Amino acid sequence: MPDNWEEIIERLARPRPLSPKLSDGDFRQFKRADTLASKEKPVTTLVVPLLDGNIICHYGARPEQLSHQIREELSHYIIPSTQDDLLMPNFFLEAKGPDELHVVATRQACYDGALGARGMHFLQSYQQEGPTYDNNTYTLTSIYHGGALKIYATHVTTSEGPDSRPEYITTQVNTWGMTGNPETFRQGISAYRNARDWAKEKRDEFIRAANERLSEAHSQHSSITQHQSASDLTPNLDDSDASTESDEYQDAQQWKFAALIEHGEEEPQGKTKKPRIHASESPLMQLVTWPATQLVIGLPNRAFLSVSTNLLQIALEV
């Protein structure tokens, strides 16, 4: 469980000034939309706008918020889709109709959470002495399925043992029955929108901190260069002090997601082309002979990742 668990619980339960206040009529409209939506697309077009206020299923930052240099150096981790206009998504919604499997939405939410937490982790560690592991969560995911809203928190930690590697752990925060009665309907919408706002605050906080660290690094470099010039020393313009990642600090996803990176694999540098991930690019590859509900999912690139919970285990290639 993340160390900032109580902060999340408190924030999601915080009263929200809904304007205008959600009425019993709004509840009936929501319930009617849920009844009519049997598949993912009608749920997205009929139900999600009433829940979110928009037809948006993931939230991130605008590119101009983050320094261009940081975007280039961390693009493999902070732009996990073909949408170049979306950075650092750390709030997600997976919506399914009652005719669709809940376990599919759960796996997708775990995957979303791992991608979001990985991006936040890399940005938090940017221009630091090493990877930052504070056991806090900064990424939230949600599922809407069959009238129920579930919210999850994903945080990064390290595995035990000599081959310590990043693990991404997803934990359910709470569940709301959105079609049960007007009160739980209001509580669910309030919690969802509070979670969305909290995730944006954390995302903006990380972006500001990374921009400031880069600015300080440039100032220090400039000061050193000026001092060397004043001393008639030949400036060393080697830019090898740019942010790089160790073998320990590689791609990972979990629920628990434990990364098994190929030895000798190099991290992307500079403008190395990064894989772009569509939701449709997560094909089922094969069933494996581990306990009960297990599967293997293939995605572009070479790193091999495993995902596990008490109920399921997923292996991912990213």
The pLDDT tens digits of the residues spanning 189-227 come to 999 999 999 999 999 999 999 999 998 887 776 666 655
Q: Check whether 312 has a pLDDT greater than 70.
A: no
Reported pTM? 0.71
Only one residue has tokens 């290639």, namely 317
* Crossing angle for the helix pair 5-13 and 182-230, to the nearest 10 degrees: 130
Q: What's the rounded Cα separation, in Å, for the pair 196 and 65?
A: 18
Specify the higher pLDDT residue, 44 or 295: 44
Paired sense of beta strands 137-145 and 87-96, if any: parallel
> Mean pLDDT over all residues of the chain?
75
Residue 284 lies in a domain: no
Residue 258 lies in a domain: no
pLDDT of residue 96: 94
Other beta carbons less than 10 A from residue 7's beta carbon:
13
**Per-residue pLDDT averaged across 185-191, rounded?**
95
Q: 264 — alpha (psi -120 to 50), left (phi > 0) or beta?
A: left
Say what percent of the chain tops pLDDT 70: 68
**Per-residue pLDDT averaged across 176-188, rounded?**
96
Residue 228 lies in a domain: no
Specify the higher pLDDT residue, 61 or 290: 61
Strand order in the sheet with 284-286: 58-61, 87-96, 137-145, 148-158, 166-177, 257-260, 304-308, 313-317, 294-297, 284-286
Residue 106 lies in a domain: yes
Q: Phi, psi (5° rounding) for residue 185?
A: -60, -50
Q: What's the rounded Cα separation, in Å, for the pair 213 and 126?
A: 8
pLDDT of residue 85: 85
Question: What is the count of structural domains for the chain?
Answer: 1
Residue 148 lies in a domain: yes
pLDDT of residue 272: 37
8 A C-beta contact, residue 261 and residue 304: yes
Q: Check whether 247 has a pLDDT greater than 70.
A: no
Cα distance from N-terminal residue to C-terminal residue, the chain: 25
Q: Which residues pair with 271 in a beta bridge?
A: none
Helix/strand/coil percentages in the chain, nearest 5: 40, 20, 40
pLDDT of residue 18: 62
- Give the lowest-confidence range in 65-69, 219-223, 236-240, 295-299: 295-299
Domain extent, residue 132, equals: 5-210+242-249
Q: What's the rounded Cα separation, in Å, for the pair 283 and 280?
A: 7
Only one residue has tokens 């890399």, namely 122
The three-state secondary structure class of 138 is strand
**Per-residue pLDDT averaged across 173-189, rounded?**
96
Residue 318 lies in a domain: no
Which range has highest mean pLDDT (110-119, 127-136, 158-167)? 110-119
Residue 234 lies in a domain: no
The three-state secondary structure class of 258 is strand
Residue 223 lies in a domain: no
8 A C-beta contact, residue 132 and residue 155: no
Q: Check whether 25 has a pLDDT greater than 60.
A: yes
Only one residue has tokens 């901190």, namely 209
Q: Check whether 29 has a pLDDT greater than 60.
A: yes
Paired sense of beta strands 284-286 and 313-317, if any: unpaired
pLDDT of residue 45: 94
Q: Check whether 302 has a pLDDT greater than 60.
A: no
pLDDT of residue 221: 63
Other beta carbons less than 10 A from residue 227's beta carbon:
11
Which range has highest mean pLDDT (98-102, 216-220, 262-266)? 98-102
Specify the higher pLDDT residue, 41 or 297: 41
